[in-house]
């Protein structure tokens, strides 16, 4: 059962070996598109103002077939584009009102600036799109490399795992050695115990020894003084002392492993 779990974990790890994620950055392009959208919105508003201004100007023109046709075109365009929030003072301009004429000149200047800004933003957007295409090409190349890497890892892992199984089958004496290696890893890296679901024999023996010594001490003490009643604190202190002596011997310190398992079991 333990070997089945171990092999399952190995298979899952191999499935993800070599995976790499490389996404082309699109933040700069999004910013440029957002700015271009704002500029286009302002130009659309100015287009409405010009259409409405032209229609208002035709209202002062003599009535004839050409002006009537132009009015029909502009009225239809106004229905499509809508009415501007701020109309052009056509009557004031025709009356040569200085403020109205200066306001129109400022408006023309702003429109020209918007047109130039739109041209510049479109050029930037083309460059950003070109960079995006290049990043996409690099991403595809990276994916191809990653696929090759995963295949290599799978081949090496499969044959490596197969070799390990063959070693255990044809040379059973290697199994204790493998167990010792696993025990060493678990004692040095407690998280490995949670990963593969096993602990080392030495760690288990140390805990059993500590509990056994505590039981023996209690039994021995009860023989010499049968009437003595031990408090829970005294029993825990004796148990902690025996466990400390049995699990913290020299370099074979299993305390981190025990604490990790207690935390995992919430005890």
CA distance 240 to 138: 60
> Same domain, yes or no, for 260 and 183?
yes
Predicted pLDDT at 158: 56
> How many domains, in total, are found in the chain?
2
Predicted pLDDT at 7: 47
Predicted pLDDT at 17: 43
What contacts 24+ positions apart, CB below 8 Å, involve 119-128? 121/32, 121/35, 121/36, 121/39, 122/36, 124/32, 125/29, 125/32, 125/33, 125/36, 128/28, 128/29, 128/32
> Same domain, yes or no, for 152 and 224?
no
Domain finish residue from 159, 183, 213: 159
Domain finish residue from 134, 159, 184: 159
Give domain status of residue 11, yes or no: no
> Same domain, yes or no, for 155 and 28?
yes
> Same domain, yes or no, for 73 and 195?
no
Give domain status of residue 15, yes or no: no
Q: Profile the chain (267 residues) by mean pLDDT over runs of 10 residues.
A: 49 45 59 91 94 93 93 93 93 94 95 95 88 80 68 59 57 60 57 52 66 74 69 72 67 61 62
- Going from the C-alpha of 14 to that of each of 120, 156, 173, the distances in angstroms are 50, 10, 27
> Same domain, yes or no, for 231 and 108?
no
Domain finish residue from 131, 159, 187: 159
Give domain status of residue 210, yes or no: yes
Widest Cα–Cα separation across the chain:
131
Structural domain range at position 192 = 174-265
Predicted pLDDT at 171: 63
Predicted pLDDT at 31: 87
Give domain status of residue 230, yes or no: yes
Predicted pLDDT at 257: 61
> Same domain, yes or no, for 127 and 241?
no
Residues 6+ apart with CB under 8 A from 97: 89
């Amino acid at each position: 059962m333990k070997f089945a779990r171990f092999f399952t974990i190995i298979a899952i790890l191999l499935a993800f070996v070599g995976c790499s994620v490389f996404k082309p950055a699109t933040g700069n392009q999004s910013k440029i598109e957002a700015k271009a959208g704002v500029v286009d919105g302002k130009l659309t508003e100015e287009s409405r103002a010009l259409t409405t201004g032209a229609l208002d100007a035709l209202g002062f023109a003599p009535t004839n077939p050409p002006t009537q046709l132009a009015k029909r075109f502009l009225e239809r365009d106004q229905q499509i584009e809508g009415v501007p929030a701020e109309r052009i003072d056509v009557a004031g301009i025709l009356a040569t009102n200085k403020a109205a004429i200066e306001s129109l000149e400022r408006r023309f200047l702003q429109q020209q600036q918007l047109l130039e800004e739109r041209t510049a933003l479109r050029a930037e957007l083309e460059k950003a799109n070109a960079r995006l295409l290049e990043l996409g090409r690099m991403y595809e190349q990276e994916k191809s490399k990653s696929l090759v890497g995963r295949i290599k890892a799978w081949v090496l892992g499969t044959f490596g795992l197969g070799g390990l199984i063959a070693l255990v089958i044809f040379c059973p004496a290697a199994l204790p050695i493998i167990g010792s290696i696993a025990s060493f890893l678990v004692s040095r890296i407690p998280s490995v115990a949670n990963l593969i679901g096993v602990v080392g024999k030495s760690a288990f023996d140390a805990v059993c020894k500590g509990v056994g010594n505590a039981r023996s001490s209690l039994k021995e003490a009860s023989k010499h003084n049968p009437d003595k009643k031990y408090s829970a604190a005294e029993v825990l202190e004796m148990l902690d002392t025996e466990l400390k002596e049995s699990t913290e011997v020299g370099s074979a310190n299993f305390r981190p492993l025990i604490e990790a398992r207690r935390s995992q079991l919430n005890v």
